[in-house]
Amino acid sequence: MQAINERTPALETVGGIRAKGFATRCVHAGVDQDDSYKSATTPIYPTSTFGWHGLGKPATYDYTRSGNPTRRALEENLAALDGGVDCRATSTGMSAVTAAMNLFEAGDHVIAGHDIYGGTYRLFADVLPKLGIDVSFVDLSDVGNIDAAKTDKTKGLWIETPSNPLLNILDVGKLVDAAKKHGLVTIADNTFLSPALFRPIEHGVDVVVHSATKYLNGHSDVVGGAVVCGSDEHAQRISYVVNAMGLAQSPFDSWLTLRGVKTLGPRVRQHCDNAMKVAMFLKEHGEVERVYYPGLGDHPGHDLAKTQFDGFGGMVSFDLKGGFEKAKRVMPSAELILLAESLGGIESLWEHPWSMSHVSMSEAARRTAGIGEGLVRLSVGIEDAGDLIADLDRALSA
Ligand code: PLP
């Protein structure tokens, strides 16, 4: 596996910096723009509006829903990290998903993986059909399923890899080839890996969405999202939609996310190291039926993950022997690991997909996706691995 910096191509035009290295871009892209005072950090502009120079002469920014210098710094930073031509920072991950799905219109059909984030599933299954956009959920581990699901109305392909919560790995190159063959727009939700480990645009994906609530911000103190586009055509449409629908991030939350993203590189490395240790511990534990972590050699997507990503990520899922009843005893018993939804923060969290993150999927849909009652999804934080393992050991004996 190559180091992040070796794989990241030169991106000299986005974010105002010349650096090739990923960590350097995290710290500097979009940030170094205060020519008045040379402040080391981006100022927060907590203003709703901006004065005009005269009639017909607006300043660079006119109204914060449409644009704000603090948010712009974050957008330039994220575009540079994901290798896109531009980015829009949104108020939540779901508003990023909403903006991206506005690339389609009534009458269009989209194909999505069947084991995607529950909130995205709810939007696709419940809300978008009422607006005339239909989504089919298929198992994208078999690329042939795209041909089977495609109709003459199909316009898009929605990819989430590793999938949530089972961490299935999709072959993005093959999916993009199939999508291109049918003229589909490909959108990838890159929340679980972040651009530190995967940059879908390099693999031909058209549009990337993130819940910035997770690894990008990384400190569990913001909800936010981002849409990064690989082409000007998509970037212009997303910019229009984010303004028209009022989906943009606030200046203060943009600033917090920008502060968080500066440490993305080292944070993600620590998440990955800890997750591998935790996965190996869980694999040997008597109370655990099965561990899902792409870093383990026996994970079905291990070889693909090794070539496609720059690391295996910080998420580990596992089935408990004893199902729901065991989960009810174990999960509130940890001292360090908080029983809570969300992921990607520096502190470890775990949640029960069956009754929490994926409860908006029907029981049948959860079973089809392979989500059982004993499944636990653990977001491994950056604490000392030994403390996390001791905490898990204690809780598992509950
Ligand atoms: N995409 C994925 C993969 C997620 O896990 C989540 C939230 O958990 C979202 C999108 C939605 O993000 P948010 O909660 O910031 O709206």
DSSP string over 327-395: HHHHGGG-SSSEE-S---SSS-EEE-TTTTTTTTS-HHHHHHHT--TTEEEEE--SS-HHHHHHHHHHH
Model pLDDT, residue 13: 45
Q: Exposed, middle or buried: residue 2 (CB in 10 Å: 0-12, 13-18, 19+)?
A: exposed
Structure tokens at 32: 């170094």
User: Apex CA 187: angle with CA 183 and CA 189, to 5°?
Assistant: 160
Checking if the pLDDT of 7 tops 60, the result is no
Tell me if residue 25 is catalytic: no
Closest CA to 251 of 9, 12, 63: 63
Cβ–Cβ < 8 Å for 327, 373: yes
Cβ–Cβ < 8 Å for 380, 333: no
Ligand 1 interacting residues, C-beta cut-off 6 A: 92-94, 117, 119-120, 160, 164, 189, 191-192, 211, 213, 223, 225
Residue in 20, 32, 61, 65 annotated catalytic: 65
The proportion of the chain whose per-residue pLDDT surpasses 90, expressed as a percent, equals 87
> 87-115 burial, b if ≥16 CB within 10 A, otherwise e?
bbbbbbbbbbbbbbbbbbeeebbbbbbbb
Closest CA to 92 of 60, 117, 63: 117
C-alpha dihedral sign at 99, 222, 373, 189: positive
Ligand 1 centre distance from Cα of residue 34 (Å):
32
Residue 171 region by backbone torsions, left for phi larger than 0, else alpha for psi between -120 and 50, else beta: beta
Model pLDDT, residue 18: 58
Tell me if residue 319 is catalytic: no
282 membership: H or E segment, kind and range: helix 264-283
Nearest protein Cα to ligand 1, atom 6: 211
Model pLDDT, residue 17: 59
Closest CA to 138 of 130, 154, 357, 301: 154
Closest CA to 116 of 133, 134, 135: 135
Nearest protein Cα to ligand 1, atom 11: 93
160-200 tens-digit pLDDT: 999 989 999 999 999 999 999 999 999 999 999 999 999 99
Among 117, 361, 377, say which to mutate for ligand 1: greatest number of ligand atoms within 8 Å of CB: 117
- Nearest atom (ligand 1) to Cα of 97: 10
219-255 tens-digit pLDDT: 999 999 999 999 999 999 999 999 999 999 999 999 9
Ligand 1 centre distance from Cα of residue 210 (Å):
7
85-136 tens-digit pLDDT: 999 999 999 999 999 999 999 999 999 998 888 899 999 999 999 999 999 9
Tell me if residue 117 is catalytic: yes
Full-model pTM:
0.94
> 16-33 burial, b if ≥16 CB within 10 A, otherwise e?
bbebeebbbbbbbbbbbe
Cβ–Cβ < 8 Å for 242, 99: yes
Tell me if residue 293 is catalytic: no
Ligand 1 centre distance from Cα of residue 336 (Å):
23
Checking if the pLDDT of 8 tops 50, the result is no
Ligand 1 centre distance from Cα of residue 361 (Å):
15
Among 101, 120, 163, say which to mutate for ligand 1: greatest number of ligand atoms within 8 Å of CB: 120
283-342 tens-digit pLDDT: 999 999 999 999 999 999 999 999 999 999 999 999 999 999 999 999 999 999 999 999
Nearest protein Cα to ligand 1, atom 13: 93
Cis peptide bond prior to 266, omega within 30° of 0? no
- Nearest atom (ligand 1) to Cα of 213: 15
Ligand 1 centre distance from Cα of residue 118 (Å):
9
